[in-house]
Amino acid sequence: MNTKDAKRVLETALICAHQPMPLREMRTLFADEVGPDTLRALLDELARDWEGRGVELVALASGWRFQSRPELREYLDRLNPEKPPRYSRAAMETLAIIAYRQPVTRGDIEDIRGVTVGSQIVRQLEERGWIDVIGYREAPGRPALYATTPQFLDDLGLLHLEQLPLLDSQCEAAETIADLLSDPSPSPANRPAEDVPDAAVTGQGCASAGLVAIESESAPEGQDPAAAAQAASMEPQA
């Protein structure tokens, strides 16, 4: 198969895919006769072919996908005016702590937030596909260790956890995570230029409406308003 035909096959598969496509699936298209380096070269060519159009090819944590460019989102949102799911500030703070401190147990999260973490919050984040149990700590009761998933990075439009912005408090982290999920166009300031996708979308290459909205709470779950200020500095870890 020549390069032109291989690009056509790859382009068609990516456009029709419902989820980001990893390299291993792309190799299946060619019966493993095309290696990873050749695939990456073809993907780079495809990305250049689509420059200047309303759709772009980007690399995310779980694979490659076509998606609409962020400047067109306001138009596409008119086709899907539903409001995004709402999550409590407690849920966003829990998600932010897991993202920046992973792997962590519920006890770790409660120590940082200063309040109990309800089972429904953890279940909600698991059902959304943003966190998962990756193991158990060797401690009394063997508590579950939570970490974020590739789906979480995909929804933020990120390749790696290191691309999360550096923040100073859990409050700021919760707001930032919520903002990125609502309009996933992370600032490239802390990200390699070649790794910066402009926006995250869901489905078959269509721009999504905001993926999340955060509900305001004056004092989440009885938390002291000063608790966030007392939180330790939160830095992303791979």
**pLDDT at residue 235 in the model:** 42
Mean pLDDT on 218-238: 39
**pLDDT at residue 3 in the model:** 86
**pLDDT at residue 166 in the model:** 74
pLDDT at 47 over 50: yes
**Nearest alpha-carbon partner for 89 in 216, 223, 234, 184:** 216
207 confidence band (pLDDT: 50, 70, 90) = very low
**Nearest alpha-carbon partner for 174 in 122, 126, 225, 234:** 234
pLDDT at 42 over 80: yes
**pLDDT at residue 63 in the model:** 93
| Least confident segment among 148-152, 193-197, 231-235 | 193-197
Query: Read out DSSP for 140-178?
Result: TT-PEEEEE-HHHHHHHT-S-GGGSPPBS-HHHHHHHHH
Q: List all residues 6 or more positions away from 72 whose beta carbon is below 8 Å from its beta carbon.
A: 54, 207
Mean pLDDT on 51-60: 92
pLDDT at 237 over 80: no
SS3 106: helix
Paired tokens of 162:
């290191």
Contact 208, 127 (CB under 8 A): no
What's the pLDDT tens digit per position in 158-205? 888 888 877 666 666 677 777 767 655 433 333 333 333 333 323 333
Q: Give exposure, 162-192, as e/b (b: 16+ Cβ within 10 Å).
A: ebbeebebbbebbbbbbbbbebbbbeeeebe
Q: List all residues 6 or more positions away from 118 whose beta carbon is below 8 Å from its beta carbon.
A: 90, 221
**pLDDT at residue 219 in the model:** 38
What's the pLDDT tens digit per position in 123-137? 999 999 999 999 999
Rounded distance between C-alpha atoms, residue 174 and residue 93, angstroms? 5
**pLDDT at residue 184 in the model:** 52
**Nearest alpha-carbon partner for 113 in 89, 132, 131, 135:** 89
Paired tokens of 134:
């990756």
Q: How many other CB atoms sit within 10 Å of the CB of residue 29?
A: 17
Phi, psi for 201 (deg, rounded to 5): -135, 170
Average pLDDT over all residues of the chain: 77
pLDDT at 223 over 90: no
**Nearest alpha-carbon partner for 126 in 159, 152, 105:** 152
Mean pLDDT on 48-60: 93
